[in-house]
Structure 1
Amino acid sequence: MDDARLLAAARDLLATGPVCDNCLGRPFADRSFGLGDDERGRGLRTAVALADDADFQPADTADCWVCEGVCADFDDWADRAAAAVEGVEFDSYQVGTRVPPLLEENGDLFRADAGLDSDAGEPLRKEFNREVGKRFGRLTGAEVEFERPDVQFLLDVAEDTVETTVNSAFVYGRYRKLERDIPQTEWPCSDCHGTGRADGGVCETCEGTGYLYPESVEQLTAPVVEDVMDGVDSTFHGAGREDVDALMLGTGRPFVVEVDEPRRRDIDVGRLEADVNAFAEGKVEVEGLRRCTHGMVERVKRLDASKRYRAAVAFDADVEADELADALTELDGATVEQYTPNRVDHRRAGKTRIRVAHEVSGELVDARHATVEVHGEGGLYIKELISGDEGRTEPSLAGLLGVGATVSELDVLAVEGEDEPFEDDEFFVD
């Protein structure tokens, strides 16, 4: 659009009735980057007055027929948004606006009267978002963020309401589980469905607790994080999980605690780590706690990981040291086919999984007992690698020895990324 056409369009827009600077400038929002719509509108109003040698008529936003005066309320909306999150810690924000259909229609008519496309410039809601957002940023010192901000606002102009969302905060770390028979997450009783009541009385299975196990790694860690961050709820996300009767030792298992609607984000993670460990009373311990982004949840769940295990193995008959050594050599580096194990077929799809046993070693304790260490690809079932699981796993230690073998105790020693570490600075919050 050349200068003459621009001035002609501005004259046509001004001729429609009383129009504020914001609404006059909005159809030209794609011109002169760095200006606000009000600055564009005032410039056009001035240019028309100069070109026509006419008296300058300043705008009165309250009389504007296009926005019906709402463009005068940006400061008020920003103040209300700031008040809505008073007492909440945040570093980033995003503003959205729901504009009444009548005002959107006014904008379309306004452009049509000047022969402009209905989508010329920008819509009122976009200017609202930007102008209220800039003011909110100045009031709070926070930065606008469009991906996943700490707080979000929806300004409903018709209803005159500010809807506020405080997004979750995330804390990453690694945990060690130092006692057996503790599940990773809460395990509600299947007989009473977590209610603690069955057949008109106290559930005998869980003794009224609602849980098959009274404690979990989640229950020993997440409540402390939630409390310190002053949230309303929390969710535990682990990089896989060990069996209930297995220990998690060594470097620990990566996890993320997600805290809903936190009022605090600026926390001392060192002190939090000490608080969690004190609360867990030696049953579980955590280390390396750091605030992280939402992306770390997906990372701990999806990153390909290998695991190291130590298994105490019991044999049904005597085994010679050289027989064990030969069998372990066969398993070392082997590609293993595992059909869904009997012990998990009630909750896992029945199919054959191909996994690699990267390293397998061990030694006899006595003729009926051995200690075996396995570095396996993620998803390799270790108990079945030892027992064979009635032929569902091939090859297996029991199958190669021709002797029944079971895991009496299992310890997980390490959980690490196959190709890269879980800990990546891209996912941490300073």
Structure 2
Amino acid sequence: MLDAARALLATGPLCDHCLGRPFAERSFGLGNDERGHGLRVAVALADDDDFQQGAGGDCWVCEGVFERLDEFAERAADVVEDYEFSTYQVGTRVPPLSEENDRLLREDAELATDVGEPLRKELNREVGKRVGRVTGTDVDFERPHVQFLLDVDADSVEATVNSAHVYGRYRKLERDIPQTEWPCSDCRGSGRQGSEPCDTCDGSGYLYPESVEQLTAPVVEDVMEGVDSTFHGAGREDVDALMLGTGRPFVIEVDEPRRRAVDAERLEADINAFAEGNVEVEGLRLCEHTMVERVKELNATKRYRASVEFGGDVTADDLADAVADLDGATIEQYTPNRVDHRRASKTRTRVAHEVTSELEDARHATVEVHGAGGLYIKELISGDEGRTEPSLAGLLGVEATVTALDVLAVEGGEEPFEREEFFLADGRDGADGEDDEE
């Protein structure tokens, strides 16, 4: 080691960081500057020479960047002084010349070019430690609240504020409200056709004036002081369907939030007041970003209640027999006519886990279905001109039409949506709308 240290010192003026960095894998618990200082002392003692301090700002390898560690940390803290955050990560863009010097240092000393650790990695760590001390936050190498980028050559410190997420369940209590914004297709959301207001949307830019997204996400975005927000739902119900019962899981993602420590219970109350009875939410909790994928991808089952009108008279026995045939049946559904314009044309196989019914009169019944995710309920009833087999209409031999559809429950098929590892520790403290199958 002393021979290697002598060879490194012979290359030119070095700071303690750059002298110690080729030995980063030795003596756990020391910083590279401590290693460099120790080697400098050891060489002076072994050679009985006068001790020479590290070159500091005159280092030919890093050109004095390690003299500025505290400055960079302070600048990083200043960039995010208006943001709440508790985790961070620091990345560094090192000048190509400095990286080349770091390689040449080892070559000139006849060391392997990959020995120790790279200059970039040490800068990340040393600035990162200081950022943590200045801001009172913790480093997170997976999904930090804030990611800092130190560009040495440009002499800049930038910050990317990662999004925050709120999980909950919503109930939609009025019909003709889509889940997400539904821009007008005729004016492409502009609200105008030439110089005149769009006739289709009356100049609003939307086919429907409200959506679940518009009644919830803006409130969360406002409370968290974000710049934008995105609504993620566990599938969606038809625009003319209600979402009742236990509600549908959702996550609202807020971009660049200035506030993260929000009171989830108060946020619930704010949303419910804003929605004025059209939509209501419950069970709001701050959650990890991974909850977005879980909400969108977890295999879920759904319970529906459908009001059905028949094209001919149906007896209680006939309805009971037809429902018994559907109960537990495997259903083959070719892409329905109503979504054929935007879904791949293919046959999908889904299970109707449980089907029950109650005949109201010879032409009307209430049918409840507990089905696998992706089961088209309206087509299960109507048959969709033979595209769904078996169907209630096909088994009865009469037309059957869903006149009203309510979703009663959306639950995980094999496990619940609400697993604790997806929620933050502070928990409670702290565009279309057509498919009933998704």
- TM class by smaller structure: over 0.9
Partner of 2:286: 291
Structure 2 distance, partners of 1:33, 1:395, is 69
The one of 323, 331, 335 equivalent to 1:336 is 331
- Among 159, 164, 175, the residue aligned to 2:154: 159
Any residues of structure 2 matched to 1:193-204 within 5 Å, and which? 193-204=188-199
Q: Does 1:237 align with 2:241?
A: no
Q: 1:397 aligns with which of 392, 395, 405?
A: 392
Are positions 1:247 and 2:262 aligned together?
no
Q: Secondary structure at the match of 1:365?
A: strand
Counterparts of 1:36 and 1:337, CA distance in 2? 65
Q: 316, 319, 342: which is aligned to 2:314?
A: 319
Distance (whole Å) between structure 1 residues aligned to residue 332 and residue 399 of structure 2: 19
One-letter code aligned to 1:357: A
Q: Considering only aligned residues, what root-mean-square deviation do their CA atoms show, in Å? A: 0.6
Query: In the TM superposition, what are the counterparts of 1:5-24 in structure 2 within 5 Å?
Result: 6-24=1-19
Question: What residue identity is the alignment partner of 1:407?
Answer: V
- For structure 2, the residue ranges without an aligned partner over 5 or more in a row are 426-438
Residue 41 of structure 1: SS of its match in structure 2? Answer: helix
Q: Which residue of 2 aligns with 1:371?
A: 366
Match of 1:86 among 71, 75, 81: 81
Q: After the TM superposition, which residues 25-424 of structure 1 pair with which residues of structure 2 at under 5 Å, given as runs? A: 25-424=20-419
Structure 1 gap segments, 5+ residues each: 1-5
Offset at residue 34 of structure 1 (A):
1.3
C-alpha displacement at 1:286, in angstroms? 0.2
Structure 1 distance, partners of 2:5, 2:77, is 36
**Residues of 2 paired with 1:190 and 1:146: CA distance?**
43
Structure 1 residue matching 2:170: 3-state secondary structure = strand
SS at match of 2:240: coil
Aligned residues: 425
Deviation at 1:30, TM superposition (A): 1.1
Residue type of the alignment partner of 1:341: P
The runs of at least 4 consecutive aligned structure 1 residues that moved more than 3 Å come to none
Larger relative contact order (CA 8 Å, sep ≥ 6): 2
C-alpha distance in structure 1 between counterparts of 2:113 and 2:78, whole Å: 36
Alignment deviations for residues 94-136 of structure 1 (CA, whole Å, 9 cap, x no partner): 0000000000111111101111111111111111100000000
Give the CA deviation at 1:163. 1.5
Deviations, residues 74-102 of structure 1 (Å, cap 9, x unaligned): 10000000000002000100000000000
For 1:279 and 1:193, how far apart are their aligned partners in 2? 27
Secondary structure at the aligned position of 1:223 is classed as: helix
Letter in 1 for 2:222: D
CA distance in 1, matches of 2:200, 2:246: 35
- Tell me the TM-score normalised to structure 2 length: 0.96
Deviation at 1:238, TM superposition (A): 0.1
Amino acid aligned to 2:326: L
Residue 388 of structure 2 aligns with an amino acid whose one-letter code is T
Cα distance in 2, alignment partners of residues 32 and 282 from structure 1 = 65
